[in-house]
Amino acid sequence: MSKHWLEWFDWKNENECEWALGYLAKAGEPLEPYGGAASSRLNLLIKKWPPRPLDPSLGPHPIHSHYRALETRMRVAYYNKRRRAAQEDHKTYSLIMKKSAQKTLTRLSAHWGLKQNQVVEHLIFSGGDLKREFDDHSKREIRRAQEEFKKQKEKLQDRLKEQQEQIKVLKREIRDLKSAPLERKVTKVQKRLRSYDANKPNEE
């Protein structure tokens, strides 16, 4: 059994002592009003506690039960604090889920060999990966559709240019026909008809 209260605590660390004072103040322990070093204030506070019994064979005295419980709670909070500080990339979350989710969560935990918080974390990251994959697929499909539209647009523009050129040729021929003698008009019309017949697809 420890000989002194808070024997496990890091008394040399003023920041830790400041945390301990804050914890004990919230627990209802009276703090000294002066603003000295945190370790000195904490030491003065602990000195006011009753001496810790050294004989474990003695039954728990009512005067010690409160301080033992307080020290136990403080020790748990302290080591939880240090564990969280050592895991800077972790954060505590408070989640409210349907009771029916517990069965699935327990089954996944056993199946994957993970703790339940690790299962939730895995599902979150998996969902993020799926979203990124979906976004990448969507972007690829959009690019493919844009490229296809561009190709179709270019084909239509080429056909439009060809038709415009044909229209120019026809307009030019029409002007020539209007100004040409009758014999030349008939000859040109006949040539146009023969050209049309030659290019006409075979219907047989």
DSSP-derived secondary structure letter, 100: T
Round to whole Å and give the CA distance between 60 and 55.
Answer: 10
Rg from Cα positions in the chain: 45
Question: Helices then strands (H, E): number in the chain?
Answer: 6, 0
Q: So what's the pLDDT on residue 166?
A: 84
Q: So what's the pLDDT on residue 186?
A: 58
pLDDT tens digit sequence for 143-185: 888 888 888 888 888 888 888 888 888 887 777 766 665 555 5
Q: Amino acid identity of 195? A: S
Round to whole Å and give the CA distance between 120 and 117.
Answer: 5
Q: So what's the pLDDT on residue 51?
A: 80
DSSP-derived secondary structure letter, 30: P
**Pick from 150, 149, 146, 148: which is nearest to 138 by CA?**
146
Q: Are 37 and 25 in contact (CB under 8 A)?
A: no
Q: So what's the pLDDT on residue 48?
A: 86
Q: So what's the pLDDT on residue 1?
A: 44
**Pick from 95, 123, 126, 128: which is nearest to 107 by CA?**
123
CB atoms within 10 A of CB 75: 13
Q: So what's the pLDDT on residue 8?
A: 84
Residues of the chain with pLDDT under 70: 1-3, 53-63, 88, 129-130, 177-204
Q: Are 2 and 52 in contact (CB under 8 A)?
A: yes
**Pick from 58, 61, 64, 72: which is nearest to 27 by CA?**
72
Torsion of CA 90, 6, 72, 13, to 10 degrees: -10
As a whole number, the mean pLDDT across the chain is 78
Instruction: Classify residue 173 as exposed, middle or buried by CB count within 10 Å of its CB (0-12, 13-18, 19+).
Output: middle
